[in-house]
Amino acid sequence: MGLLTEEPTPEPGFPGPDAETGVAAYSEAGRAPFAGPPDTPESPAPAAVAGQASPARRWFYARVDAPDASGAPGSPSWPATTLGTQRLRLTDWLYRSQGASVLWLLVRLWLGYQWLNAGYQKIWGAEKSAFWFGNGIGVKGFATAGVAGSATGKSGASYGWWAAFLHNFVIPNASWIGKFIALGEVAIGIALILGLFTGVAAFAGLSLNVIYMFTGSAGVNPMYGILSVLLILAWRNAGWFGVDRFVLPGLWTRIVTLNGHLGRRPVGVPSAPVVVPTH
């Protein structure tokens, strides 16, 4: 059984199935057809003609410039296996290209400010007496309302096990949990604004959103959660205009070195061409 539901028509510049083996060569990174380095006398660059993709290849294409000819880890187009320009799906453009980094910069700044302001209010602002001071009365009241709403079935925690967690753990430890939440929200905001470990910061924010929603609070949490999911998916380029641009390449180099010593190849690093059946 093949990967395609119908016999595809070879596109210009893409290899068709071999006459003897009936398979086509593909690169493991992105499953892009492996046609050798483009823009060379021996292997001219294929001409991208709109509308000639077969039905089995219906996707949106976008042309992006590969900033690093070697496709080095940390570059927005990584992993790249070709020189010059390449055709990427819309999702690849959103989550890997340098151009989309401007969009994620705006999302980061807005969402980061919201988290930073929320934490600021809990430590120095209007909510400091309920979170940073006052033995975490804000957390205790929030958790108590969730437990009570779960008992009546009208609001609050939707799951009994979560209501038990609130009652047995959160309420007795509300004092330090209030401080932890306040510091966490400030840290998430600063990390998103600076673009430092953007994916990790977005995941931490998403975790808080889920906790708040499980306890019975909707409000802005669904919107924050959706934006956090998108930033997690765009972890490669969301921090390109930020600290991640300088931190992630060095970190990835260390991971590659460590995996090399352990005899493993990190996920996503291009390997030798593989063959995929076409029918």
Greatest mean pLDDT among 23-27, 106-110, 130-134: 106-110
What confidence tier does 98 reach under pLDDT thresholds 50, 70, 90? confident
Tell me the two tokens of residue 158.
């939707």
How many CA within 13 A on the CB side of residue 133?
A: 8
Question: DSSP secondary-structure letter at 166?
Answer: I
Q: For 59-91, write each residue's pLDDT tens digit.
A: 323 333 344 444 444 444 444 444 334 455 888
Determine if the peptide bond prior to 44 is cis (ω within 30°): no
User: In the chain, where does DSSP find H-type helix?
Assistant: 90-96, 101-123, 137-152, 160-165, 174-194, 198-215, 221-233, 244-262
Q: How far from chain centre, in Å, is Cα 44?
A: 35
Distances (CA, A) of 94 to 98, 103, 202: 9, 9, 16
Instruction: Supply the pLDDT for residue 204.
Output: 97
Predicted confidence at residue 243, as pLDDT, reads 94
Type of residue found at 20: E
Long-range contacts of 119-123 (CB under 8 A, 24+ apart): 119/182, 119/183, 119/184, 119/185, 119/186, 119/187, 119/188, 119/189, 120/186, 122/178, 122/181, 122/182, 122/185, 123/182, 123/183, 123/186
- For the chain, percent of residues with pLDDT exceeding 90: 44
The per-residue pLDDT for 91 is 84
For 20-25, the CB contacts below 8 A with 24+ separation are: 21/275, 22/277, 22/278, 22/279, 23/275, 23/276, 23/277, 23/278, 24/275, 24/276, 24/278, 25/273, 25/274, 25/275
Rounded Cα gap, residues 195 and 190, in angstroms? 8
Query: Are the C-beta atoms of residues 273 and 134 closer than 8 Å to each other?
Result: no
Radius of gyration of the chain (CA): 25
| Coil, helix or strand at residue 33 | strand
Q: What does the mean pLDDT of the chain come to?
A: 73
Condensed to tens digits (0 to 9), the pLDDT of residues 202-214 reads 999 999 999 999 9
Which tops the pLDDT comparison, 258 or 65?
Answer: 258
Confidence at residue 73, expressed as pLDDT on a 0 to 100 scale: 43
Q: Where are the domains of the chain?
A: 23-99+246-277, 107-233
Find the range with the poorest average confidence among 43-47, 184-188, 190-194: 43-47
10 has a pLDDT exceeding 90: no
- The reported pLDDT for the residue numbered 4 is 39
C-alpha closest to that of 32 among 94, 81, 103: 81
Determine the pLDDT at residue 22. 45
Residue 259: pLDDT over 80:
no
The DSSP secondary-structure symbol of 176 reads H
